[in-house]
């Protein structure tokens, strides 16, 4: 099979397209013929050797795929699925744990399904389970032109948010946030805090989705509603923030961690339940996954460079062609 193998932990430059032996499923694993694979933050960190999980080199990155079942598990061969893989997704064939393989609706194409797996599961986990979003509440989404951001906008609308405010840098990412369904789009370089207060009548946001970190987290606390929940999703800015917790006390704010991979280890059933609910929303027309840039497998290194340099909007996807 063709695969994009990481031979040196030097980032995208360490990725090499090569021929490898087909994987063989073991108990509890499903062999999938991959049609598309998502490019995400974890994949980027793994190519640099900066993720907490460090497979022995060489290995094939890729944590989310969409395709059809070949063998293994309880699903019939030929079933259209999306799946989370430990890694090994950037290949024509990949293995995934049976508990993390989900049949997908016919209305969902493979490229959208591959980009759906981690980002939409993260958005659902954060907004529904961890953030307890109630219908009519206001959601503020940072990094709103990226994969997690666009997914969070989409899921927030499906959950009945009253107002979804997006913060993004640059015209292309702001357009992506609008396309994902944001009600209000603000410039990350502007005074978005004041704008959030104005759009909420001075009350602030009930739930904040923050995949950026750095100064964004502390500044977000200044435009949150009483009893607001700030979802810590990641640190795309490159800096893990530190805050003074008296602000949480004064305004009764919750600072909430959202970790899709970590949640799987605590509750293996949540992912399948969330996927089933969201696939139902897609069939009802309540959810509209947005596909970002699409690359051929051979161009996977360039896809990773574009992602690392923040030149992409939405969720980049590799097609096995």
pLDDT at 22: 95
pLDDT band at 185 (very low <50, low <70, confident <90, very high): very high
pLDDT in tens, 94-108: 999 999 999 999 989
Residue pair 105/134 in contact by the 8 Å Cβ criterion: no
H or E, element range at 168: strand 163-168
CATH code of domain 2-108+289-319: 3.90.180.10
- Could you give the angle at the alpha carbon of 33 between the alpha carbons of 28 and 34, nearest 5°? 105
pLDDT at 320: 96
Q: Would you say residue 125 has pLDDT above 90? A: yes
Distance separating alpha carbons of residues 195 and 4, to the nearest angstrom: 44
- The CATH class of 123-261 is alpha beta
H or E, element range at 159: none
| Residues in a beta bridge with 141 | 166, 209
* Cβ neighbours of residue 196 closer than 8 Å, sequence gap 6 or more: 140, 165, 186, 204, 205, 223
Per-position DSSP letters for 78-113, written without gaps between them: T-EEEEE-SS--SBSEEEEEGGGEEE--TTS-HHHH
pLDDT at 266: 86
pLDDT, mean of residues 25-48: 93
Q: Which two tokens stand for residue 213?
A: 């970190």
Q: Would you say residue 178 has pLDDT above 90? A: yes
H or E, element range at 316: strand 315-319
Helix axes 110-124, 270-284, angle to 10 degrees: 120
pLDDT, mean of residues 30-49: 93
E strands along 248-312, which residues? 254-257, 291-296
pLDDT in tens, 260-316: 888 888 887 888 899 999 999 999 999 998 888 999 999 999 999 998 888 888 899
pLDDT, mean of residues 25-39: 94
Domain boundaries defined on the chain: 2-108+289-319, 123-261
pLDDT at 314: 87
pLDDT band at 58 (very low <50, low <70, confident <90, very high): very high
pLDDT at 5: 97
Distance separating alpha carbons of residues 35 and 32, to the nearest angstrom: 9
pLDDT at 264: 85
pLDDT, mean of residues 101-117: 92
Q: Would you say residue 9 has pLDDT above 90? A: yes
| Bond prior to 227 in cis (omega within 30° of 0) | no
| Residues in a beta bridge with 276 | none
Residue pair 279/255 in contact by the 8 Å Cβ criterion: no
pLDDT, mean of residues 187-211: 97
pLDDT at 310: 83
pLDDT at 296: 96
Q: Would you say residue 79 has pLDDT above 80? A: yes
pLDDT, mean of residues 47-72: 93
pLDDT at 203: 96
For the chain, the distance separating the N- and C-terminal CA atoms, rounded to the nearest angstrom, is 12
Q: Which two tokens stand for residue 148?
A: 């997690």
146 SS3 class:
strand
pLDDT band at 113 (very low <50, low <70, confident <90, very high): very high
pLDDT in tens, 158-176: 999 999 999 999 999 999 9
256-295 burial by CB neighbour count: b if 16+ within 10 A, else e? bebbbeebbeeeeebbeebbeebbebbeeeebbbbbbbbb
pLDDT at 170: 94
281 SS3 class:
helix
pLDDT at 307: 87
What is the CB-side half-sphere exposure of residue 319 using CA atoms within 13 A?
Answer: 11
Residue pair 102/114 in contact by the 8 Å Cβ criterion: no
As a residue count, the chain comes to 321
Q: Which two tokens stand for residue 310?
A: 């923040």
pLDDT band at 188 (very low <50, low <70, confident <90, very high): very high
């Amino acid at each position: 099979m063709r695969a994009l193998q990481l031979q040196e932990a030097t980032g995208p430059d360490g990725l090499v397209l090569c021929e490898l032996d087909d994987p063989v499923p073991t108990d509890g694993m499903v062999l999938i013929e991959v049609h598309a694979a998502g490019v995400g933050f974890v994949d980027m960190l793994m190519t640099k050797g900066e993720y907490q999980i460090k497979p022995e080199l060489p290995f094939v990155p890729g944590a989310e795929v969409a395709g059809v079942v070949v063998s293994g598990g309880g699903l019939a061969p030929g079933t259209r699925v999306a799946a989370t893989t430990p890694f090994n997704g950037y290949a024509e064939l990949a293995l995934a744990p049976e508990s993390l393989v989900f049949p997908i609706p016919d209305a969902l194409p493979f490229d959208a399904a591959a980009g759906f797996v981690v980002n939409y599961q993260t958005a659902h986990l954060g907004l529904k389970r961890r953030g307890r979003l109630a219908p009519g509440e206001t959601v503020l989404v940072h990094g709103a032109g990226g994969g997690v951001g666009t997914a969070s906008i989409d899921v927030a609308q499906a959950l009945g948010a009253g107002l979804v405010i997006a913060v993004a840098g640059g015209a292309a990412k702001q357009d992506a946030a609008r396309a994902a369904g944001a009600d209000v789009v603000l410039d990350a370089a502007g005074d978005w805090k004041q704008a959030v207060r104005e759009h909420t009548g001075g009350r602030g946001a009930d739930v904040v989705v923050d995949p950026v970190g750095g100064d964004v987290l502390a500044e977000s606390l200044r435009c949150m509603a009483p009893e607001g929940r700030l979802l810590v999703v990641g640190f795309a800015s490159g800096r893990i923030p530190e805050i003074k917790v008296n602000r949480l006390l004064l305004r009764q704010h919750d600072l909430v961690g959202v970790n899709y991979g970590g949640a799987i280890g605590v509750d293996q059933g949540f992912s399948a339940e969330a996927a089933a609910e969201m696939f139902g929303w897609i069939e009802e027309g309540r959810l509209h996954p947005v596909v970002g840039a699409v690359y051929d497998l051979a161009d996977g290194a360039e896809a990773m460079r574009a992602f690392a340099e923040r030149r992409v909007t939405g969720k980049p996807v590799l097609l096995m062609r």
